[in-house]
Structure 1
Amino acid sequence: MKKIILIIGASSGMGKETAKKLIREGHTVYTVARRIDQMQDLKALGGYPMQMDVTSENDIRKVINTIIKEEGKIDVLWNNAGYGLYGSVEDVSLAEARKQMEVNVFGIAAVSQMVVPYMRKAKSGLIINTSSMGGKMYFPMGAWYHASKHAVEGLSDCMRLELKQFNIKVVILEPGFIATEFGSVLIGNFSKVSKQSAYTGMMDKIIEGTKKAAQGNGSSKPSVIADTVNKIVSSKNPKTRYRVGKFAKPMVWMRTYLGDRLFDRIVMSQM
């Protein structure tokens, strides 16, 4: 059945690839991101790109009002905006850390708060929140990123219980290593840290590992996310969580069942 879908964060990677698939499936797909120039190919396919910053309530309100005016409803909201801030807790400024939480966590809350009233009125809806396998585990130098994704997990679980009474489903997407801009952003964050940092050796190891993951078979293609989101959208009763992509399932399994000390040793053996 054709649905009205809003994808937050569709200018590249998982969001863009999924938007293409959903458009081809016949859905009406609105895509938003700060970089509207990078979504013109989606417009050519039949999508509806709009510019929006998840940290701007005015931007969000304008987008939601436009969709409701044109379509009368929003069936599916995919909160997919986010980025990875990496660096030690000692080195990363609190201003940068607050920005990370503003985009990755409060962005989800801000968009959801404006969409949910329309879903409640319709007594139907689906919200997909992008977390990460990093929302269930951790790596050194990623404290603020992991903190944001752990927060997304808790936020989403509570939303699921609160919104069930209104027939609104909440699904958590937990990607593993996916071939997107994430790695280049991560490396770019490290470049901002002083070369005199006490954590330079650890940063170099993570940069090396990130570059390797971007090559060969170190990460999954964004199409695996596109297929999964399409499956969620098409399902009458989707699962509460979907863990997909390279290393997602085994890494979370190890974190869950091996305990803190053993998992710590495994992670640090890569350093």
Structure 2
Amino acid sequence: MAGKIIFITGASSGMGYAATKLFALRDWQVYAGARRTEKIPTGANIHPLHLDVTDKASRNDFATQALDDAGGVDVLINNAGYGEFGPLEEVSEENARKQLETNLLGASELTKLVLPTMRFQRSGRIINISSIGGEMYSPLGGWYYVTKHALNVWSDTLDTEVRQFGIRSIIVEPGGTASSWTEIAMANAEKNLKPNSPYLKLTNGTKALLKRMGSQSSATSEDLAEVFYRAATDAKPKYRYYHALGDNFIGHLARVHQHLFKHVMAFAVDRLTK
């Protein structure tokens, strides 16, 4: 089969959809996985497959079909994910587990299915789509940020283990992106609120803030797809990829100047709850 081979999860919308189109346009064979296969883009070099990353049988079927058809894999992009927002006191255990299973364990388990092939090839790249939320935090996103912090550590640890086989595990950290992600995350936050919740004012304030920030975001899903492409093709890949210097700066502030970042968050919460 001509062209390099890439598996992309979460290919039915947003960055995964844009990346599927971009890699296919550049002559990669794209095995695109999503629960709603009818929403995966169509065209030359695109092979849509059903995939629910939280379901073991679905993961196994996706990996088996793609590997059997392609005969190998050069890159896996673990992109599937969402934001289970809501006050930590009120997010149910069931929803917290769903967030972990989708954003972290789904990526881990799918990676296990392609690593033997990559080891045999002595080459391969695992690209894990995290977030600047993997370095920072804000109200209502607790479980989401937990998964992204964990994904970063998991990816870095994996990288130390698989480099000996010619494989790299690296992180992409998108910041604000013009997509439906924020709307879905805040819809989840509202669904997670209990009746007469003491967090209603905080939730409404956060929703308004994120809406304003989203309207000012210059990054599109297509912009992030280009970042994915650099992460997949750079001869000497970085540990982290960002779309904008501002995203890198926010992550740096949260990592290195934690005391200052806590004051920034405290100030923001005071403003949101007044």
TM over 0.5: yes
Which amino acid is the alignment partner of residue 91 of structure 1?
E
CA contact (8 A) 2:86 2:190 kept: no
Question: Which whole-Å CA distance do the structure 1 matches of 2:63 and 2:26 have between them?
Answer: 23
1:235 Cα deviation (Å)?
1.5
Q: Percent identity?
A: 33
Instruction: Show CA shifts across 1:224-264 (max 9, x none).
Output: 2111111122222111111225841221122133332x212
Aligned positions of 1:1-271 closer than 5 A: 2-39=3-40, 42-192=41-191, 193-215=193-215, 217-245=216-244, 247-260=246-259, 262-270=260-268, 271=272
Question: Which whole-Å CA distance do the structure 2 matches of 1:233 and 1:142 have between them?
Answer: 29
Question: Which whole-Å CA distance do the structure 2 matches of 1:212 and 1:240 have between them?
Answer: 31
Instruction: Describe the SS at the equivalent of 1:84.
Output: coil
User: Which consecutive residues of structure 1, in runs of 5 or more, have no partner in the other structure?
Assistant: none
Instruction: Show CA shifts across 1:29-88 (max 9, x none).
Output: 11001111111xx22344111111001111111111112221210110000011111111
CA contact (8 A) 1:178 1:246 kept: no
CA contact (8 A) 2:78 2:127 kept: yes
Which amino acid is the alignment partner of residue 117 of structure 2?
Y
CA contact (8 A) 2:87 2:189 kept: no
User: Which consecutive residues of structure 2, in runs of 5 or more, have no partner in the other structure?
Assistant: none
TM-score normalised according to structure 2 size: 0.93
Which amino acid is the alignment partner of residue 16 of structure 1?
Y
Question: Which whole-Å CA distance do the structure 2 matches of 1:156 and 1:231 have between them?
Answer: 18
CA contact (8 A) 2:190 2:203 kept: no
1:2 Cα deviation (Å)?
2.6
1:268 Cα deviation (Å)?
3.1
CA RMSD between the two structures = 1.5
Which amino acid is the alignment partner of residue 267 of structure 2?
S
CA contact (8 A) 1:136 1:150 kept: yes
Which amino acid is the alignment partner of residue 92 of structure 1?
V
TM-score normalised according to structure 1 size: 0.94
Instruction: Show CA shifts across 1:164-214 (max 9, x none).
Output: 111001111111011122111112112211241111111111100121123
CA contact (8 A) 1:178 1:245 kept: no
CA contact (8 A) 2:83 2:185 kept: yes
Instruction: Describe the SS at the equivalent of 1:162.
Output: helix
**Matched length:** 267
